[in-house]
């Protein structure tokens, strides 16, 4: 038996708002949906009357007055009222603030580069594909693109905003309560557009501050021989040309910063859950799992080598 999908629940639904911005979007959507439904009902009833009602009745409603009231005055008044109501609510979202935190997100084919900015707009922390924020306060998102047009969308928290090359778009939103909210690129940006997702993790303020203090630290030193070997292999195979691991010679800027990659929920922008097995699979078969992404498949690595590198990365919490 097929079940109706429950659209008002889940981590990625505009009808399951978890913050004031998404709340307003959901409110407007329901208003338009229900209002539009009622108007459709009226139109259908009028059409039925025009076809089936007795002649006398049809003559009574089939007049110029009906057209002027129903076809001109009614839409003019309803749409004007809706426009004014919509604009007044939306302008409150624009002035929502001041921001407690500024996060710059750069859309890339096909992942998200994330910078936490200080008051001067300088980057204090770089990460990828997962944005942690404190709850209950406005966060400013500064959106850019490194290549083509992407669109930043976390349905449960806010509406879409495009990431356009050469432009900076920004908006603010907040999460009411702790939780994990899924985001998805909402503008076709090439072959792997569908595999360009991310997570927003909303945490209590103190918890967020602990997380942040941890993230700005360099990568932990390997505590086991296997992890030590993993780091050596990571560097020997040239991974550091594209990836940064702070505290090691790896300082590449092409791919995601991996300094604390082990602490993230997903790999490859929401494609895989993050664990030793998927890490090894991604390293050896990145082109199979997400064709045309910039990471080559390292099919040359032996099983033990893959395991060592994956274990090392997984331990970078
Ligand atoms: Cu990025 Cu679609």
Q: Is the dihedral of CA 64, 65, 66, 72 positive or negative?
A: positive
Q: What is the pLDDT of residue 61?
A: 81
Q: What is the pLDDT of residue 56?
A: 86
- Show the tokens assigned to 149: 């047009």
Q: What is the pLDDT of residue 91?
A: 84
Check if the beta carbon of residue 182 is closer than 8 Å to that of residue 154. yes
How many angstroms separate the CA atoms of 9 and 42, rounded? 31
Taking only the tens of pLDDT, the chain with its 317 residues reads 677 777 778 889 999 999 999 999 999 999 999 999 999 999 999 889 888 988 888 888 888 998 899 889 999 999 999 999 999 988 888 778 789 999 999 999 999 999 999 989 999 999 999 999 999 999 999 999 999 999 999 999 999 999 999 999 999 999 999 999 999 999 999 999 999 999 999 999 999 999 999 999 999 999 999 999 999 999 999 999 999 999 999 999 999 999 999 999 999 999 999 999 999 999 999 999 999 999 999 999 999 999 999 999 999 99
- Ligand 1 touching residue 183 (CB < 6 A): no
Q: What is the pLDDT of residue 7?
A: 72
| Atom number in ligand 1 closest to CA 109 | 1
- Show the tokens assigned to 264: 């993230």
Its pTM stands at 0.90
- Ligand 1 touching residue 189 (CB < 6 A): yes
Gap from CA of 289 to ligand 1 centroid (Å): 17
Check if the beta carbon of residue 189 is closer than 8 Å to that of residue 150. yes
- Ligand 1 touching residue 163 (CB < 6 A): no
| Atom number in ligand 1 closest to CA 187 | 2
Q: Cα–chain-centroid distance for residue 247? A: 29
- Ligand 1 touching residue 185 (CB < 6 A): yes
């Amino acid at each position: 038996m097929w079940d109706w999908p429950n659209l008002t629940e889940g981590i990625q639904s505009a009808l399951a708002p978890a913050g004031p911005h998404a709340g307003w979007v959901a409110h407007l959507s329901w208003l338009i949906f229900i209002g539009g439904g009622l108007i459709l009902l009226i139109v259908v009833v009028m059409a039925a009357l025009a076809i089936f009602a007795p002649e006398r009745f049809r003559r009574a409603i089939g007049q110029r007055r009906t057209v002027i009231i129903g076809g001109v005055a009614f839409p003019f008044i309803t749409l004007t009222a809706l426009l004014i109501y919509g604009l007044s609510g939306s302008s409150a979202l624009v002035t929502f603030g001041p921001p407690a935190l500024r996060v710059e997100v750069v859309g890339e084919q096909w992942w998200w580069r994330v910078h936490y900015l200080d008051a001067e707009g300088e980057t204090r922390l770089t990460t990828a594909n997962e944005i942690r924020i404190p709850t209950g306060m406005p966060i400013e998102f500064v959106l850019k693109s490194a290549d083509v047009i992407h669109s930043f969308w976390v349905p449960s928290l806010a509406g879409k905003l495009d990431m356009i090359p050469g432009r900076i778009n920004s908006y603010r939103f907040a999460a009411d309560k702790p939780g994990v909210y899924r985001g998805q690129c909402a503008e076709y940006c090439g072959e792997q557009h569908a595999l360009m997702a991310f997570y927003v993790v909303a945490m209590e303020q103190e918890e967020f501050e602990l997380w942040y203090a941890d993230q700005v630290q360099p990568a932990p030193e390997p505590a086991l021989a296997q992890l030590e070997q993993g780091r050596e292999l990571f560097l020997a195979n040239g991974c550091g040309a594209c990836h940064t691991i702070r505290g090691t010679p790896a300082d590449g800027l092409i791919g995601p910063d991996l300094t604390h990659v082990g602490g993230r929920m997903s790999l490859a922008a929401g494609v895989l859950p993050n664990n030793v097995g998927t890490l090894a699979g991604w390293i050896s078969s990145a082109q199979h799992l997400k064709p045309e992404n910039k990471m080559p498949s390292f099919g040359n690595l032996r099983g033990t080598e893959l395991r060592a590198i994956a274990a090392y990365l997984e331990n970078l919490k």
